[in-house]
Each structure stands twice: as C-alpha cells, then as structure tokens.
Chains A and B, each alone.
Chain A
C-alpha cells in the first residue's frame, strides 16, 4: 500500500512525516529529476513526503513532481494525507479542492491545533467532514499530538474519496459513449503549456472554487480575529526585517555561524584526522610493505578519512540551517538580500548557500536544495566553489608567508592579514560575477515573479533538526563518499607506483645512503625520488610545458595534480616533493624560499610565482569532493565537468597574466 503526504508550504508536513516514520525513512531523488524524494514506512505502508505545492496547475519543478505522483497511473496512490495549517485553512482548502477533484481517497489533517487554540480559532470537525466527504483529524506535529490517531487511520486504510468540488464540469463523453472525467488530463496539459484559452478557463475554475471555499469557511470556522495570529511575529519583524538593524543582525548571525563552523568543527576534525592516521599506522605495522598493506594504509584508510573528516562541518552547518529554517528566519534572510542578489542573476534564496561556501563548498552545495527555481539553483551550485573555503586556508598561509614576512605592517594592519582578506574578497566577487555571467548563459529569468511566504516565528523543532542532520550526513557519506573513495585509490596508485622496476629505486637508495648520513633526511630524499619517478611524477613532467608560462616546474605540477583530491593536499605534496620531513609551516616556507631554479641562482618561488600560485588556487576547482557532490546534486556529470574546466581555465589565465605581468 502506498500513501503520500501533500500540503501547502509551511503547513508542518515534513514534521508530521518525521513523526510518522522516525528514522525509518530514505532520501533519494524522484526519477529523472533532482527533486528530493523522502519516503518512509508506517508498519508496512509506504508514505511519501511530496514536495509542498500552493495550487494546481504547478508552477515549479517541485510542484510538477508532486502532481506527477498524484496522477501516476502505473503506481497509483492508495491514499492521500492532506496536511493543512489550521490557521491558514482557506489557502489549504483551495489546493485540497483540486486534489479532491482528482478523485483520490484522502484524509484531511489539520495541523498546529495548539495555534488554533491559542488564537481562540475553532474549526467544526464534523461539519468540515460533512463538507469535504472525508475524515478530518487534528494534529500538532511539534509535540506529536494526534499522530497515533493518524497512524491508526493509515493502517486501517481509512481514506475516503472526497466530495467533488467542480469535478463534474470536466465530465465529457468519449467516442465509445463512456463518461470520462478530464480534470487530471486538463491540469497536466496546462502544466506543460498554458494557452490563453486555458488561462481563461483556469481563472474561472479558481473563481468557482473560491466561492465554494468561502461558503465552507463560513459554515465551519469562526475566523474573524485573523490579525492576532501574527502579533508577536510582527513585533519581531519590526527589528529583524528593518533595512538597517535587520541587515546588521543578519550579518552577525552569519558571522556567528561561520565562526562556529570553524571553532566547533576543529576538534572533532582533528580527532578524526588523528584516528585515521592511527589506523593507517596500524595497517602499516600489521602488513608492512606488502601491496595490500600500502593500499590500505595509503589509499583506502586516508580515502575514508577524506570523506568522514567533512562530517563535523556538514553536521554543524545543517544544524544551523535547521534552526534558521524551523524558526522561520531563513525566509527573512531571503527578504533582506533579494534586491542585492537580483543584480547578479540570483535571488534572496541563494544567500545561505553562497555564505556557507566560506566554510566548505560541500554542505553549501547540498543546501541549495532550498532554492525552488531550478535554473537559479544550478547557478548557485556553479558559483559556490568560487567562495574561499577553509581548505584553501593552509595553501594561502604557506604562500602568503612566502611573499610577506609576518612583521610587515600597513598602518595598524598586518599585511599578511590584509592579503588574506583580499583573497576572500576575490572569491566573493568572482562568485557574484560568475553568477551574473552564467545566469545569462542558462537564461535564468531572475526578473520573473519571485514569491515566498514568511512563516510565523516558532521555536526550533529539535526532532526535525536532528533528523535533517542524520539524513544529510548519511546521504553525503554514502553517495558522494563512494566517488571520493574511488578517486583516492586512483591517486594513491599514481603516486605509489612507477613504470620503473624495484632495482631502479634500490640503486638510488644505495647511492643516497652513501652521501647522506642523517636517516630522517635519507628517508625523505628517497621518498621524493620515488615520487619523482612515479606515474604522478611523469604526469607532472608531462604537463610541465603547460605550467612553465605560469612560473611552475614539474614539482609544483605534481602538487597541483595530487591536490586535485583536495586543495589542502598541496601543503603535504609540496612538503614531500621538496624533501621536507615535517609539515611544519615555517620549515616549508624556509625551504621554498631557498629553492632555486635548476642551474641558476634565481629563486624558484619569487613574488611572481607565489602570486601566480595564490591566484591559481583562488580560482581552480581543486576539490574532487565538491565535484562528486555537484554530480550528485545535479544528477549529471555535465555540470561538474563544465565547472572543472571553466574554473581551471579561469585559474590558468589569471595565474598566467599575474606571473607574466609581475615577471
């Protein structure tokens, strides 16, 4: 048996779904589209949480998906659980009247019963049942009241086909003389192509329904004190939506979230990093130099670590997103920022994903699901990796330290800090300019009608927030993790294996051991030699002609290739390739300063090279985890491939211009 939850946005449908199914739910996509499909079970009965919709015919991709499920003839629904916010009964009844005319067995759930009581609003349950022709149940999805009763109804298959509203006006006789109702066909046709004749008929349809609904409202409710419902919300909005104070509070909220992501994620990330380092060490001890030991210690375990290390950041970001959404503040952010974002082809809905990209592009891209306009969502996904994420930070610190000594000041400001701030600004400006450009390519109609609802302020629903954390984290580990894992193993192979035989390296080690007495230095020189003649080393040399105009040699080339896995790998790779035993920043900086261009006295890392590298990392798509998530979110390899070549192309050109101009 298959049922579906449907309702207008902000009716508490998802909270109800979480209460009904608990952890017994799966998240995926509806076939062929990137709209999230949540399904769960009440005993053995399947319950689908359909995307919220305002009215038929659909105007967004989410609404189209919901309509397709409601009218699916191959796997028809056995029942519809229609969820309504009791206080907003009129708009809910409009959608319900249309679903009722599809002839689907239904139950009408009036949610937020507590808010009806608090506002002294009453709905006559039996009178409404008589009017609608299907069972009516009251619930409070915040506290779980009425959920058991609803579960009993679902298990007993207690759904009824509601009374027709204006269904009969769509009855026609077919060629064989049978009476056929064409309402669902008509709605589907209008959804794909709205002709002027349809438009007129559709408006008449809505007008007729409105009259019927007004009659029902008069019979079953005492709704007259409507404005009291938003009294507290209005008081809060006077501050939070104030053009000056509201914007300031918004910036403080954002700043606090990013600080928390850095601060709170730091120790669990370090713990996980240490834990996976320990596991690698244990694997190395247990299996020695055998190939499977190396695969485990240098490929699989670090690969798994590379996936799992992002969990704290993802969980913390979604924790805050959950709070912003469930309190109703997220919509206020859209209200405050829409005008500015519009200039760049985006809307107020894109602010949170873009700002989240400063912490990490992966959860930021996942959070674009809150953007209802499909094309705008693609633009947000496309430009988010331009924002300066935390993985760029180690690279920037090394390279800025290489160019500017820490004691140089410009007035009261440290020059290193100013350059770092400048790089963050470059990321933001690049993201906005690219959004402007891409929105013109994929024809985002940002001047089109943008309507959102401001929900009433509510206390956070912790049940929903923790379920959001759980499902998002699980989805990241299982889906994006698979791709990251495979690429990690490929990179391990390229850096660990060589076209040369063992004797080639043994001979080098013998020669080195005669020249170097310090065992630590010997080991790192030997490691550098192995890397130089590995497949990755050959790859680095093969791309050297392309990199020379940027001021890079083959060694930097290897670091660029290996840091494709993640930008921060650059530090580790450059440390290994320049034979530095430790990854201590000062040691690396010192060694890089001393590095000379082969056969000359010229420093390898002069101002031009370092700036060129800084700009390369500011623009290049050096993060396979991001590409994996983009593939998952867009359901296609097209976007990650375009993104990779566009960003790398821009990075190359900017780095080339910077190097050649400064040289």
Chain B
C-alpha cells in the first residue's frame, strides 16, 4: 500500500484508504474519489504539486497534500485488462 503521490505516470491503482478527516473525505467522495475506485496517475505540476489523475473517464486535479493522504494498492497491467 502506498500513497497516491507515490505512483508513477501511467501507473494504475485501486484506492484502499481515504483521509481520516470527514470534510476532506466528503469532498473527495463528491468527485467520485473513494475506496475501491481504480485511478490512473496522469501527471504532476511544478515540483510535484498539484497532481492529475484519471478516474471514471474524468481527469481530476487535486493538491499533493490531499493526494498524499489517499492510499492505494497498485494494479499490474494484466489484472486491469
């Protein structure tokens, strides 16, 4: 298990743990970011912040501080095909 910010460009992972605080979690969930969803790490901004992920055919930007509190389990290419 690693943080969303630890993923490499193009790497896919399943969300396994969300941030502890309710407000952040609430806001993330409202954009579809929640446990069991599969995300693809797309790119980062200047010095790794903010980050861009692909989720449900949507490119979503979130700040590194929030992304670092989302934990994921990387998926290998074969399991996602």
- Selecting from A75-83, A88-96, A584-592, the interface stretch reads A88-96
Task: Say whether A90 contacts B22, CB under 8 Å.
Answer: no
Task: Say whether A449 contacts B45, CB under 8 Å.
Answer: no
Task: Say whether A206 contacts B66, CB under 8 Å.
Answer: no
How does the 8 Å CB contact mask read for A222-243 relative to B, with 1 for contact and 0 for none? 0100110110011001000101
Distance in Å: Cβ of B51 to nearest Cβ of chain A? 10
Task: Say whether A449 contacts B60, CB under 8 Å.
Answer: no
Is B73 positioned at the interface, with any CB of A under 8 Å from its CB? no
Known: A91-B32, A199-B26. A453 touches B60 (CB 8 A): yes
**Complex Cα spacing A454 to B54, Å:** 10
Closest 6 CB pairs of A and B: A454-B59, A55-B30, A243-B46, A449-B27, A90-B56, A54-B30
**Complex Cα spacing A542 to B8, Å:** 69
Is A178 positioned at the interface, with any CB of B under 8 Å from its CB? no
Distance in Å: Cβ of B17 to nearest Cβ of chain A? 13
Task: Say whether A449 contacts B66, CB under 8 Å.
Answer: yes
Binding site for B on A (CB under 8 A): 54-55, 57, 59, 87-88, 90-91, 94, 194, 196, 199, 202-203, 206-207, 210, 223, 226-227, 229-230, 233-234, 237, 241, 243, 247, 331, 334-336, 338-339, 342, 348, 447-455
Q: How many residues of B are in contact with the other chain, CB < 8 A?
A: 35
How many residue pairs link A and B with beta carbons under 8 A? The number is: 113
Distance in Å: Cβ of B50 to nearest Cβ of chain A? 6
**Complex Cα spacing A234 to B24, Å:** 28
Task: Say whether B59 contacts A339, CB under 8 Å.
Answer: no
Residue in contact with B57 in the complex, picked from A87, A94, A334, CB distance below 8 Å: A87
Known: A226-B57, A453-B58, A454-B59. A94 touches B26 (CB 8 A): no
**Complex Cα spacing A90 to B33, Å:** 12
**Complex Cα spacing A372 to B50, Å:** 18
**Complex Cα spacing A571 to B23, Å:** 53
Task: Say whether B54 contacts A449, CB under 8 Å.
Answer: no
* Chain B residue at minimum C-beta to C-beta distance from A229: B57
Is B1 positioned at the interface, with any CB of A under 8 Å from its CB? no
User: With a CB–CB cut-off of 8 A, which chain A residues contact B27?
Assistant: 59, 448-449, 451
Known: A241-B45, A335-B45. A450 touches B26 (CB 8 A): no
Task: Say whether A454 contacts B52, CB under 8 Å.
Answer: yes
**Complex Cα spacing A535 to B30, Å:** 59
**Complex Cα spacing A54 to B27, Å:** 10
Task: Say whether B50 contacts A230, CB under 8 Å.
Answer: no
* Chain A residue at minimum C-beta to C-beta distance from B21: A449
Which chain B residues numbered 15 to 68 have a C-beta less than 8 Å away from chain A? 22-36, 40, 42-43, 45-47, 49-50, 52, 54, 56-63, 65-66
Known: A194-B26, A233-B59, A243-B45. A451 touches B31 (CB 8 A): yes
**Complex Cα spacing A295 to B26, Å:** 59
Known: A59-B27, A194-B22. A451 touches B60 (CB 8 A): yes
User: With a CB–CB cut-off of 8 A, which chain A residues contact B33?
Assistant: 451
**Complex Cα spacing A285 to B34, Å:** 73
14 residue pairs A–B, Cβ–Cβ below 8 Å: A55-B30, A88-B58, A90-B56, A203-B29, A230-B54, A233-B59, A335-B45, A335-B50, A339-B50, A449-B23, A449-B63, A449-B66, A451-B60, A454-B60
**Complex Cα spacing A250 to B35, Å:** 36
Task: Say whether B63 contacts A59, CB under 8 Å.
Answer: no
User: With a CB–CB cut-off of 8 A, which chain B residues contact A247?
Assistant: 46
**Complex Cα spacing A348 to B25, Å:** 21
